[in-house]
Amino acid sequence: MKRADAATAGHLPGAKLKTDRMPGHWLLARLGKRVLRPGGLAMTRQLLTDLSVGPDDVVVELAPGLGLTAGMILDRAPLAYVGVERDRDAAEWVKRRLPSRANVSVRVGSADTTGLKAESATAVLGEAMLSMHSLQQKRKIMEEACRILETGGRYAIHELLIVPDDVPDEVKQEIEQTLSEAIHVAARPLTEAEWRSCMEQAGFDVVSVRQAPMSLLQPARIVADEGVFRAMRFVFNVLRDPDARRRVLLMRKTFTKYRDYLRGCAIVGVKNGSGPVSSKLTS
């Protein structure tokens, strides 16, 4: 790795971990991959269009990661942007890459307890983070999104999807286990029906659902997401690091093995004002 690359990678979350222990998304980032979303950059663009971010919006992004989507949000000139990132190193990474403005901030916090005021946002989004949580935690995060949104506010997610809806439980369990072993992060993707149900129980009316192939590590997707130069640099970094190459090839093999069952999905819901179903059951 060139000195400049090494210095940059040293600031990445998880950079101090050994290659064989590093979460897959941070390993890919260390190797130069910027787009780490299951549906790719095109799906993120479509998600922001469906979310209809504009100059009157206060946008909260949960787990902004490398800050690529944050930059795309700011290109739409919202009234304010707030990133909430659990990992302190990741929060600092994003801060350094966003403009220093009074209406732009990144805070350290958990997606299920942001510390933000109730009904303080008009739009909330999170990408490639719910799939790594248990069903109970998914619901907590969605309920927090509902809490901080005003009635009529929009909530968008970009996550890993299992198809079809009636996939056998044993296949789902196999996919979860194999994915988790490959990326070194617990992976618990849901079917479309399950994602819809979670959002509805959290207090949202689902207004749009989109799907895209899960081809994160396929050459055509890498070029489409990163551009030719960055794609070539990513491949070069993979080839010259044997330990990283083994990890990346295992991830790619896993994604390919389950390509008939895995997709990326983008879902947008609108807060309906009725409140989370679970809150009603416990009140």
Region 97-125: mean pLDDT is 95
Q: 278 or 271, which is more confident?
A: 271
The pLDDT assigned to 4 comes to 33
Angle made by CA atoms 74, 80, 84, in degrees to the nearest 5: 85
Q: Specify the pLDDT at position 280.
A: 52
Confidence at residue 274, expressed as pLDDT on a 0 to 100 scale: 76
Q: How confident is the model at residue 202 (pLDDT cuts 50, 70, 90)?
A: very high
pLDDT of amino acid 6: 36
Domains and CATH numbers, the chain: 3-270 (3.40.50.150)
pLDDT, one tens digit per residue, over 10-38 is 466 666 667 877 888 889 999 999 999 99
- Which of 84-93, 165-174, 217-226 has the least mean pLDDT? 84-93
Helix (H) or strand (E) holding 150: strand 149-162
- Residue 76: pLDDT over 80: yes
Q: What percent of the chain has pLDDT over 70?
A: 92
Helix, strand, coil abundance in the chain, percent, nearest 5 = 45, 20, 35
Confidence of residue 128 (pLDDT cuts 50, 70, 90): very high
pTM: predicted TM-score of the whole model, two decimal places? 0.89
Give the number of residues written for the chain: 283
Q: For residue 208, what are its two tokens?
A: 């749009």
**pLDDT at residue 2 above 90?**
no
Give the confidence band of 184 by pLDDT, cuts at 50, 70, 90: confident
Whether 250 has a pLDDT exceeding 80, the answer reads yes
How many other CB atoms sit within 10 Å of the CB of residue 26?
23
Among residues 151, 274, 137, the alpha carbon closest in space to that of 203 is found at 274
Q: Is 126 helix (H, G, I), strand (E, B) or coil?
A: strand
Compute the mean pLDDT over every residue in the chain, rounded to the nearest whole number. Answer: 90
| Rounded Cα–Cα distance for residues 121 and 274 (Å) | 17
